[in-house]
Chains A and B, each alone.
Chain A
Amino acid sequence: MSTKVEELHGGGALPLRIRNVRKVYRTGKKGVEAVKSMNLDIEPGELITLLGPSGCGKTTTLRMVAGLETITAGDVFIGDTRVNDLPPSKRNVGVGFESYALYPPLNVRENLSYGLKAGRRVADPDKIVDELADRLEMRDLLSLRPASLSSGQKQRVALARALIRKPPVLLLDEPLGHLDAAARQHVRRELKLLQRQFGYTTIVVTHDQLEAMTLSDRMAVMNGGIIQQYGTPDEIFDDPANIFVADFVGEPSINLFPATVVRDGGRTLVRVGADVLEVAARTATDGAEVMVGLRPQDCHGKGVTKGLTGTVFVYEDLLEHGIARVNHPGVPDKPLVIQTPAELQLSPGASVTFSAPPNRIYLFDKDSGVRIR
């Protein structure tokens, strides 16, 4: 998916570079290391998402770039200026807060013009507000106050406020967090088109892997203050670097179970109980104990004779597709999950044989969790 920067707006997007950045929170004597030596290069106009569970350091990183948190060590460059010691307003960044952080006593027009009138005297703030309001089709909201807006409208106003000063870098914290499913889907597309059109270098922080995959040009999956993998959605989904990335990205989530490697001439197989699966990995050593990753969406049962055979424990018919949980003798502690096509109806107790294309079965080192290619 190529990214086409149609029309650069204002001063033009700037690259963003994060070099060996660390953040330690001093609470009492011992410090909590929220971010451990982070490195990230973002090209101008690129949309990057920081994806990870809560407490993985993604919001802290965003706040450090925005200037809302001090940087314990390392450097952040916007364009070629080192911004570590600059207050937020001097970093010329647009920030969208998770709770929208609109100004309650002011109406939408005043919310947008607040920044314009606050710092340096801007020629005609109302004209700029009207112009942006037209572009975002929110002219009718200008006279309303935040409390009377729906969460979708609040999200749009928060975004407009971040864009109003045409910042070269846009930082959004969980922009779709408080929206219901229908609105989220619509706003997601709108945000992607908008970013493409405005051409801002953008960082989006989210815990929702679906949101990250759809919005990202590239995405950084984070955990424990470290970037686990940084790449395009295709690389992250189809070529996970370790067990955490494979487990965190993808819904329904990946099956992970132990198996032993069997080398058979050029081919690599893994033995699970009595069954055997061919895998694409080349560097696995014969007889090694490994963790196997198998995505439910990649398992197909129609017309498969050789693969894993188990008995259905629970079958959920979601009409667009089905989800079956299958007990397999080789995987004692929890059932395997497979996503079955709509036309394949299964009932509890039935036996099913399923497999997946070799390049879609991933092997991970049992201890370190690192991917074995």
Chain B
Amino acid sequence: MRSADDTVGGRQAPTVSPARRKWRPYILSIPATVILIGILYPFVQGVGYTFLNYRATEGDVHFIGLGNYLQVFTDPLFWGSVRITLTFAIVATALETVLGVIIALLLNRSSLIGKIFEKVLILPLMIAPVIAGVIWKLMFNPQFGILNHIFNLGSTFDFLSEGRALWSIIMVDAWIYTPFVAILVLAGVRSLPKEPFEASAVDGAGWFYMFRRLMLPMMWPYILVAVIFRFMDCLKVFDIVYVLTQGGPGHATSTLQVNAYINSIINFNYSGGATYMFILWIIVYLTAQQLVKLLGRAQARAAGSEA
């Protein structure tokens, strides 16, 4: 079928030195690194601001060491803001996780109603949070908002009053992001192998025993991924809080990022705002590291590789 002279050989083919080969991935990543620098540069500058007394109105901008930090740490407004942010993050994440897992389990049980509604599960998530904020702001309106009308709370009950504002914002956050948790957990549950659950049925395990001993540990990594994403986002919440209450009434809902916005953009106190943000950045970075480690362990445990 092939004669001997068909083979091609004998002449020296061009070579590529190992060094050139090694650089290939780096060359491909240069454009992305440029953009990275384009973002890192302002970030570093921001950190720089925290050591200056930089205000738009300030003529003599100079280095003041840890002055900003001292001022912030002694300011009760800062600690109030930290308390509000943590409360918001913990309660919202917990609420969305529990609701999300329940919805995921219900949707997984392939009932007709479940199939129909699964398609529209993601709608709230895809609408801009600020538009969601606007809708809820109109609905919360004491005089002609729809909520007061349906639950006939009269026209004096204000969802965004000093006492209730934070919980109302948490409800709106849950309205938007619970579907995020539900989708993630549902995808996780559906990717679990079918046979172990059939084996559990053969072993005569009831639903609750099976769920506690088998299903939950296997679902746990997916729940943890959702918790990480939600908790991190809640720590830096801004859009819905600013639209609904601008941090008010008073300081009832001024989270760290809202405070920093008011401080640096409205009052032009760049250094003040930057200090708030850098402290929040450190909180986010440390929590992210711990949670990612937790996720690694959970994934190992669910897959059964870690002893």
Contact = CB atoms under 8 A, between A and B. Distances in A.
B214 A97 contact: no
Identify the interface centre among A94, A115, A118, A146: most chain B CB within 10 Å of its CB.
A118
B279 to A, nearest CB: 38
Interface stretch (A98-106, A274-282, A311-319, A355-363): A98-106
Interface string A77-96: 00000000001111001110
B289 to A, nearest CB: 25
A114 B203 contact: yes
A145 interface: yes
Nearest to B301: A105
B172 to A, nearest CB: 36
Interface stretch (B94-102, B192-200, B280-288): B192-200
Given A97-B195, A118-B204, A104 B307 contact: no
Contacts of A102: 196, 199, 304
B127 interface: no
Interface string B140-161: 0000000000000000000000
A3 interface: no
Contacts of A87: 201
A104 B220 CA distance: 13
Contacts of A161: 199, 203
A118 B201 contact: no
Contacts of A117: 209
Nearest to B306: A145
A342 interface: no
Query: A interface, how many residues as a size bin?
Result: 20 to 34
Nearest to B204: A89
Contacts of B301: 105
A101 B199 contact: yes
B1 to A, nearest CB: 16
Contacts of B195: 97, 99-101
Interface residues of B, number: 25
A97 B209 CA distance: 21
B204 A105 contact: no
A68 B193 CA distance: 15
B206 interface: yes
B93 to A, nearest CB: 24
Contacts, number: 97
Contacts of B80: none
A66 interface: yes
Contacts of A165: 203
29 contacts: A66-B202, A68-B198, A89-B203, A89-B204, A89-B205, A94-B202, A95-B198, A97-B198, A99-B193, A100-B195, A101-B198, A103-B200, A104-B218, A104-B302, A107-B307, A110-B213, A114-B200, A114-B205, A114-B213, A117-B209, A118-B203, A118-B204, A118-B209, A118-B213, A119-B206, A145-B307, A148-B305, A161-B203, A165-B203
B304 A105 contact: yes
B304 A106 contact: yes
A104 to B, nearest CB: 4
Given A105-B214, A105-B304, A115 B196 contact: no
Nearest to A116: B203
B202 A95 contact: yes
B303 interface: yes
Interface of A: 66-68, 87-90, 93-95, 97, 99-107, 110, 114-115, 117-119, 143-148, 161, 165
B304 A118 contact: no
Contact of B199 (A67, A97, A119): A97
A115 B304 contact: no
Contacts of B114: none
B188 interface: no
B303 A104 contact: yes
A118 B218 CA distance: 18
B205 A119 contact: yes
B220 to A, nearest CB: 8
A106 B214 contact: yes
A89 B302 contact: no
B206 A146 contact: no
B46 interface: no
Contacts of A66: 202
A110 B204 CA distance: 15
A60 to B, nearest CB: 14
Contacts of B200: 103, 114, 118
Nearest to B194: A101
A301 B133 CA distance: 90
A147 B206 contact: no
Given A97-B195, A99-B195, A101-B195, A146 B304 contact: yes
The 4 closest A-B pairs by CB, nearest first: A89-B204, A115-B203, A101-B195, A118-B205
B209 A105 contact: no
Given A145-B306, A147-B305, A148-B305, A103 B199 contact: yes
B217 interface: yes
A102 B209 CA distance: 16
A203 to B, nearest CB: 14
Given A104-B218, A118-B209, A147 B204 contact: no
Contacts of A94: 202
Contacts of A147: 303-305
Contacts of A68: 198, 201-202
B230 to A, nearest CB: 24
Given A101-B196, A104-B302, A88 B202 contact: yes
B304 A145 contact: yes
A99 B193 CA distance: 10
Contacts of B205: 89, 114-115, 118-119
B201 A144 contact: no
Nearest to A96: B199
Interface in B161-220: 193, 195-196, 198-206, 209-210, 213-214, 217-218
